[in-house]
Amino acid sequence: MRFVKSHGAGNDFVLIEDLGDRLAPSAGVVAALCDRHTGIGADGLIRIAPAPDAHFFMDYYNADGAQAEMCGNGIRCLAKYVGDRGLHEGDAMKVATRAGIRDVTVFRDSGGLVDRARVNMGAPVLDAERIPVRSAGDPLHEPIDVEGVRLDAACVSMGNPHCVIFVDDLDAVEVGTLGPAVEGLEKFPARVNAEFAEVLSPGLVRARVWERGCGETLACGTGACAVVVAGALRGLTARRASVRLPGGTLEIDWTSAGEVLMTGPVEEVFTGEIPIDRAPEAPPGR
């Protein structure tokens, strides 16, 4: 099985082309391939498959092997893969995900290779039941208790669930402690991605993200969208803002039509081949 390793702002993925729709990777195989010590190493795996109502289907798995609804950085990596290999004509494409169909537009460098992409992420979901979060009040001001501290969280779905926590000093946040504590709260029945965000100006936010099933990642596309949506609704940011993540910056535009556009870089790192029939299950503790 051939694969490509790509990343969007440091959020990295193993991509497998399966336009014949023949592969069904198990959770154990996905976790083993994504393992950074004994596998290829990635935040997730993307199987590029056919779709009846779109150009491609992004069959996305988190690093722990669990299927996920949507990945904003991953869908840009898919767009680069098919764009650079001539698997799709033109710079606009429709990609089906478990969260619905997303429109993607690619931008090319002077050599004709895709180096950036813009994704229409659709409208944010603010209804508690659909996020989902077990909220008795306003999901945009959801009290959560973690590590003995009560926090005022903003819950949003961008196809997958997010819990945005605005902070005064991002450098002082223990993401490795608070992130998993937030992810596992019982009020999030599907678990949740946790964003810690510091507003520098209405048009610029710093953020770090703890992703469910992955841990802290260098960037999260849907997370950046959730930060701007939550920030705009709270009056902390403009509807158009840059989100600076450890791996790079994503440009977010929550349009007047209600759709969230995300633009960011994409890069292919290397290609390789692995015998999937002999791929090991994830090592103990994964």
pTM of the complete model: 0.92
Helix (H, G, I), strand (E, B) or coil at 285: coil
The predicted structure's pLDDT at residue 127: 96
Q: What pLDDT, in 10s, does the model give residues 211-253?
A: 999 999 999 999 999 999 999 999 999 999 999 999 999 999 9
The predicted structure's pLDDT at residue 275: 77
Active-site residue, 77 included: no
Structural domains of the chain in order of their starting residue, each with its CATH number: 2-109+266-278 (3.10.310.10), 139-258 (3.10.310.10)
- Burial classification of residue 115, based on how many CB atoms lie within 10 Å of its CB (0-12 exposed, 13-18 middle, 19 or more buried): middle
Q: Which of these is catalytic: 155, 163, 220, 225?
A: 220
The predicted structure's pLDDT at residue 125: 97
The predicted structure's pLDDT at residue 129: 96
Which token pair is 40? Answer: 């290829």
The predicted structure's pLDDT at residue 43: 97
- List per-block mean pLDDT (blocks of 10 residues) for the chain, which spans 286 residues: 96 98 94 95 98 98 96 98 96 97 98 98 97 93 93 96 98 96 96 98 98 95 98 98 98 98 98 72 48
The predicted structure's pLDDT at residue 280: 52
The predicted structure's pLDDT at residue 279: 53
CB 282, CB 65: distance < 8 Å: yes
Distance CA 187, CA 2 (A): 40
The predicted structure's pLDDT at residue 274: 87
Cβ atoms within 10 Å of 163's Cβ, excluding its own: 30
Active-site residue, 220 included: yes
Q: Which of these is catalytic: 34, 71, 155, 163?
A: 71
Which token pair is 140? Answer: 């945009």
| Residue 229: HSE in the Cβ half-sphere, 13 Å Cα cutoff | 31
DSSP 158: S
If DSSP states are collapsed to H, E and C, what string results for 192-252? CEEEEEEEEECCEEEEEEEECCCEEECCCHHHHHHHHHHHHHCCCCCCEEEEEECCEEEEE
Cα first-last separation, the chain: 23
Distance CA 239, CA 228 (A): 7
CB 106, CB 114: distance < 8 Å: yes
